[in-house]
Chains A and B, each alone.
Chain A
């Protein structure tokens, strides 16, 4: 699949000499949902804003559809839409005017049929004549999405799309994002809700302190960096760890009945079969077995901790 976005060695300093981005390199494939993860102040919004022309970056190049975003800004900006993190809207304007205004800004001829379809798709049609100030937070978020899509972009940036929205609405938003992606829009979202990235994205990148520290397929990442824990529940408690079980590095719960053993998914062989056999050999009867896999969130925290430790060492 071809790259719709190519970022090469992008560096950005703010006026107070704070380095917001450092040699960022990233390629986004056409048609994917890409999640950019990172803690607050990591550089997620700065990167998105640099791509969209909202902030000026200092060095490096950014290409959309193989076109430089500075030299060919008219063409490349028509291909992008951005939904900002804040609910930045003109309160006294109607939904209809707001969305049509955005389409005009992006140099597109008025198309009321398309805007009608878009508002219906985002469940905003019955609010089209309402002023923005009369809408709920969730509705305002939808208006921002409608504005970003008003000129039919190929690449949509969602900066913390579900920040401060309730769980129900968040799920609702996820459905909207999935539907847009099915319709052919490439989506890049920043989030610090790992659950969101896990639910939506095909690939993820982790950014910390202005540097991309990892880019991978979400599933591969979970498999590669994730750990799994097997929990073996016994009928009777373990009195003393000896015999065959003494060679394993496991933990017991308070009742001494549940053995928790962690192993890496990435290793070619695990000692699970051997462990189960040794449990039986030592005379314990197994009541139940279950496994737990580490979430993207646990991986993310681990990565950020490792990266921060490395920064301190350097």
Chain B
């Protein structure tokens, strides 16, 4: 293994995060605060509790998932698309790095940034509501797994994107709607039966549900199904990235 190479990519990416620390952290903090103001005050005054949990506290895991998903995707897609855009990718391709090592460096850094932001969101949420974590290890497990999985997904977007606007299409048109419709701010039990069944087709529902279980021991679907879903997405992304990258698609002529 080229550990120095992996470390170089990782440090290089984290350095970019450090350079833009204010923008990187300010945006999720402001967004979280706004969610608490809008959802907590406007909706929270009408829905006081869900499954015995205060509404403000109930939405915290969903908000963290929303941030983790979008940040992991955008960090990884930008991180890999940028050297393609500036043509500095030549150096990575010419280096004695396997495709696995390159992915590890970029995805590791993108997931790390998301984890940092996720922790900041938890701290921010604590300023507004009481946040209880019943299963901290399970919470960390879901947090790490989700960050890695969606950083891999972002890496795929970074490989395929043909312009900066291309980086935004999937997160805006697919991920954000799935998160919003995946029970971030409600329980699917509150929906009519037909929409409950439709919601079960949304993979993000399983991530949010499992993650919420680690906080309050309440969930829309079983913990086993949630874990299986995230692992399936992870394995799917790994296979896709490995195959595409090893073929050099869009990177090597």
Contact = CB atoms under 8 A, between A and B. Distances in A.
A149 interface: no
Given A73-B96, A92-B19, A147-B91, A56 B5 contact: no
A34 interface: no
B8 A55 contact: no
Interface size band for B: 20 to 34
A56 B248 CA distance: 8
B92 A105 contact: yes
Contacts of B93: 52-54
B86 interface: yes
Contacts of A56: 248, 252-253
Contacts of B253: 14-15, 55-56
A77 interface: yes
Interface size band for A: 35 or more
B8 A101 contact: yes
A243 interface: no
Given A54-B90, A56-B252, A84-B90, A104 B96 contact: no
Contact of B5 (A52, A54, A55, A107): A107
Contacts of A107: 2-5, 95-97
Given A54-B90, A88-B88, A105 B5 contact: yes
Nearest to A144: B91
B15 interface: yes
A105 B7 CA distance: 8
B23 interface: no
B97 A88 contact: no
B135 interface: no
Contacts of B87: 84, 86, 88
B94 A82 contact: yes
Contacts of A84: 87, 90
Contacts of A97: 12, 15
B252 A52 contact: no
A219 interface: no
Contact of B252 (A55, A77, A82, A105): A55
B96 A77 contact: yes
Listed residue (B83, B90, B97) with the most chain A CB atoms within 10 angstroms of its CB: B90
A109 interface: yes
B252 to A, nearest CB: 5
A77 B95 contact: yes
B65 to A, nearest CB: 31
B2 A74 contact: yes
Interface of A: 14-15, 49, 52-56, 73-75, 77-78, 80, 82, 84, 86, 88-93, 97, 100-110, 147
30 contacts: A52-B93, A52-B94, A56-B248, A56-B252, A73-B96, A77-B94, A77-B95, A80-B94, A88-B87, A90-B83, A90-B86, A90-B88, A92-B19, A93-B12, A97-B15, A101-B12, A102-B91, A104-B5, A105-B5, A105-B8, A105-B9, A105-B91, A105-B95, A106-B4, A106-B5, A107-B4, A107-B5, A107-B96, A109-B4, A110-B4
Given A88-B86, A100-B8, A106-B5, 9 more contacts: A52-B93, A74-B2, A74-B96, A101-B12, A102-B91, A104-B4, A105-B91, A105-B92, A147-B91
